[in-house]
Amino acid sequence: MFKWIVAVVCLALGCGGDGAPEPGPLEVGVATARMPVPVGIGTVGYGGFGFNEPSPFAELYPATRRVHGHPDFRAIAISRGEGFEAIFVRSDTVGIFQQLRQGVLAELKRRTGRDFDDALILGATHTHSGPGRLIDGGGPYDLIADRFFPEFYHRMEQAIADVVETALSDLQPARLGFGALDIEVGHSDRRCEDGLEYTNDDVPVMVVERNGTIDALMMSYAIHGTVLGIEELTLSQDVSGAIEMSTAQRFDHPVTVMMFNSWGADVAPGDPEGSEGPGAEMPKGYERMERVGQAVADELITVLDSLEWTDTPEIHLQTHRAGVSRELLEYEVGEFPYDYGGVYCGVNEELLDCDPETDLREEGLDQQCIPFPAEYPAPDRTVFTAGRIGPFAMVTFPGEPGTLLAEAVASEMRKNEGVGQILFLGYSQDYLGYSILEDDWWQGGYEASGALWGPRQGAYLADRAAEVFARSWVKDLEPSEEEPAPVNPFSTDGYVPYRPETSTSFGTVTQQPQAVYGADELVSVTVAGADPWLGTPLATLVAEDGQPVLFSNGTPVNSDTFAFWVELATEPTYKEQPESTERTFLWTVSIPAHRRVSGLVPELAGTYHLSIAVPGEEGVDTVVETHAFEITP
pLDDT at 11: 32
Q: What are phi and psi of 10, to 5 degrees?
A: -65, -40
DSSP sequence for 21-83: ------EEEEEEEE----BTB---SS-----SS-BTTBSSSPPP-EEES--EEEEEEEESSTT
For 573, residues 6+ apart whose C-beta sits below 8 A from its C-beta are 53
The answer to whether residues 466 and 363 belong to one domain is yes
The answer to whether residues 611 and 571 belong to one domain is yes
The answer to whether residues 531 and 607 belong to one domain is yes
Whole-angstrom distance, CA of residue 116 vs CA of residue 369:
38
Query: What is the extent of the structural domain holding 536?
Result: 502-631
Other beta carbons less than 10 A from residue 487's beta carbon? 18
Question: Can you tell me whether residue 460 is helix, strand or coil?
Answer: helix
Tell me whether residue 82 is in a domain.
no
The answer to whether residues 327 and 433 belong to one domain is yes
Write the pLDDT tens digit of every residue in 40-79. Answer: 999 987 766 677 789 999 999 999 999 999 999 999 999 9
Tell me whether residue 305 is in a domain.
no
Out of 432, 453, 473, a domain closes at 473
Tell me whether residue 506 is in a domain.
yes
The answer to whether residues 581 and 522 belong to one domain is yes
Per the structure, the count of domains in the chain is 2
Tell me whether residue 576 is in a domain.
yes
Closest CA to 121 of 347, 311, 363, 387: 387
Write the pLDDT tens digit of every residue in 461-476. Answer: 999 999 999 999 998 8
Tell me whether residue 222 is in a domain.
no
Tell me whether residue 65 is in a domain.
no
The answer to whether residues 436 and 577 belong to one domain is no
The answer to whether residues 373 and 457 belong to one domain is yes
Name residue 104's amino acid: V
Tell me whether residue 316 is in a domain.
no
Low-confidence stretches of the chain (pLDDT beneath 50): 1-17, 349
Out of 473, 490, 520, a domain closes at 473
pLDDT at 350: 58
DSSP summary character for residue 11 = H
Tell me whether residue 23 is in a domain.
no
One-letter-per-residue 3-state SS of 315-343: EEEEEEEEECCCCCCCCCCCCCCCCCCEE
The enclosing domain of 576 has a CATH number of 2.60.40.2300
The answer to whether residues 554 and 459 belong to one domain is no
Do residues 317 and 80 lie in contact, with contact meaning Cβ atoms separated by under 8 Å? Answer: no
The answer to whether residues 332 and 454 belong to one domain is yes
Write the pLDDT tens digit of every residue in 290-344. Answer: 999 999 999 999 999 999 999 999 999 999 999 999 999 999 999 999 999 999 8
The answer to whether residues 515 and 606 belong to one domain is yes
The answer to whether residues 456 and 508 belong to one domain is no
The answer to whether residues 466 and 326 belong to one domain is yes
CA angle 339, 371, 54 (to 5 degrees): 140
pLDDT at 169: 98
Q: What sections of 93-186 are H helices per DSSP?
A: 98-112, 140-145, 150-169
